[in-house]
Every structure is written in C-alpha cells, then in structure tokens.
C-alpha cells in the first residue's frame, strides 16, 4: 500500500482537537465492540468543547479507542479488530454537520485501509465507496478515500482504475490548495 495513511494523522489530530480529547494512556486495542461501551476514559477527555455541538460520549470513546487500535495494529488479527472498532465508531457517529461528515469519512478510510491490509478487498471497497457517497464536497478526507480506493484497485490488479482514483484525489487536493491560496 504505497499511498495509504497520508492524511489520516492530520484528520485524527483534527478529531482530537475538535472534541479536545487527548488520551493519557493507550487502552488495549483488543477491545471488541461490546467492551467498547464499558471502556473508561478520564472525564475531562469526554468533556465536549467542540464547535460542532455536543457529541455523544459513546461516540467519542469509540472514536478514540478505534484510532488507537488502528495506530497500534501490527498484524492481520489486530487489523481486523481495529477495523471492527472503526466500523463500530462509524455506526455511532452523528449524522449532522460538516465536522462529523469529515469524521465519518475518515473512519471509512481508516477502516477500509485496515480491511485492505487484512486482505478483505470487498469490505475495503464497500467502506470506501460508502465514505465517498456521504458527500461530494472536496475535503482531505474525501481525497484520502480516493487514495484508499486506488490501493484496493491496485491490489486487484486494476491499474487503470487505481490511476483514476489517484487522479480523483489529486484533483481534490489541487482544488483545496487553490482555495487556500485565494484566502487572505
């Protein structure tokens, strides 16, 4: 996977800053979805200081634990567990607002990347296409989804489709860059 994970750290930091959540200790990444609800994080990490309004505490917990598990995943089994946690967080994500849209797209991209690493190309593609269908608005998260799609297509041996997906990511990044240059 030559192109994956370029933007997820930026998006992950945005997520943490959005909710002002900075974990002190990394919980064990081996939590499954049922254990996720019972995992305990310090109360100050759950306090909502986001401009997007109140985010559900279960969603915040799921988001933090899922990203930690994804960051720590080093083998196929850990990839699969982390992908399940990311998918659980995605299922808990609020459906309103631009900030939560970016979070949902980021979760889709990360889960898709992990499914790809675990060899589950079908689920990886489904997650990515689901993320792409959430909005056509250009964003770093949408560009990352195209990059993951390119990796899926490359793994399938579909070079032309991979190239098209990368061109989609490049087009978005170029548009975002041009917008940035226009703003004072």
For residue 22, is it within any domain?
yes
Q: Is the pLDDT of residue 52 over 50?
A: no
Domain range for 166: 8-182
Residues 148-175, mean pLDDT to the nearest whole number: 97
Confidence of residue 124 (pLDDT cuts 50, 70, 90): very high
62 domain residue, yes or no: yes
Mean of the per-residue pLDDT values for the chain? 77
Domain assignment present for 3 = no
What does the pLDDT read at residue 58? 85
Average pLDDT score over residue span 151-167: 97
Whether 77 is covered by a domain: the verdict is yes
Torsion of CA 28, 33, 39, 45, to 10 degrees: 90
Q: How many domains does the chain have?
A: 1
* Any domain includes 1: no
| Range of lowest pLDDT (18-22, 99-103, 137-141, 177-181) | 18-22
Check which CATH number belongs to the domain holding 25 and give it.
1.25.40.10
Residue 2 lies in a domain: no
Residue 80 exposure: Cα atoms within 13 Å on the Cβ side: 6
**Which pLDDT belongs to residue 94?**
86
pLDDT score at 50:
46
């Amino acid at each position: 996977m030559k192109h994956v994970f370029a933007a997820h750290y930026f998006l992950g930091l945005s997520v943490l800053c959005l909710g002002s959540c900075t974990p002190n200790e990394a919980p064990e990444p081996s939590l499954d979805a049922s254990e996720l609800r019972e995992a305990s994080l310090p109360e100050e990490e759950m306090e909502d200081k986001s401009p997007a309004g109140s985010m559900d505490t279960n969603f915040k917990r799921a988001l933090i634990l899922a990203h930690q598990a994804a960051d720590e995943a080093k083998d196929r089994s850990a990839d699969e567990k982390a992908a399940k946690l990311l998918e659980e967080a995605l299922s808990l994500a609020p459906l309103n607002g631009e900030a939560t849209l970016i979070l949902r797209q980021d979760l889709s991209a990360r889960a898709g990347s992990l499914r790809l690493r675990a060899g589950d190309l079908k689920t990886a593609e489904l997650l990515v296409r689901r993320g792409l269908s959430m909005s056509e608005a250009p964003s770093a998260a949408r560009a990352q989804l195209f990059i993951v799609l390119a990796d899926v297509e490359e793994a399938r041996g579909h070079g032309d489709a991979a190239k098209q997906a990368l061109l989609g990511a490049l087009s978005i990044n170029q548009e975002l860059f041009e917008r940035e240059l226009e703003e004072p």
